[in-house]
Amino acid sequence: MPKAPACRTNRQQAKASGIVGVTVDVKNHVWGAHATEFLATGTAVRRLTDEHRLPETSPKPTFTLGLDN
């Protein structure tokens, strides 16, 4: 049976819903014929339970980025 990819195994261990902000770095090595290294990193995230959700009457968070300075 093939081994599960590490990112899936780590996600399951963390009981995460998914992974965001994934970057993949690929490096070819000259010391080995056809040797390529893959490194994937990301952040595991979980869905919030109802007890963590804001009431519907709460103001919605917004993101504002100033364009001066």
List pLDDT tens digits, range 29-51.
887 777 888 888 888 888 777 77
Report residue 35 as tokens.
């040797």
Q: Please, is 66 exposed, middle or buried when counting C-beta atoms within 10 Å of its C-beta (0-12, 13-18, 19+)?
A: exposed
DSSP state of 53: S
How confident is the prediction for the chain on average, in pLDDT?
79
**HSE-up of 45 (CA within 13 Å, CB side)?**
9
The mean-pLDDT minimum among 2-6, 8-12, 18-22, 60-64 falls in 2-6
pTM: 0.50
Spatial separation of the C-alpha atoms in residues 36 and 14, rounded to whole Å:
28
Tokens 């995460």 sit on residue: 16
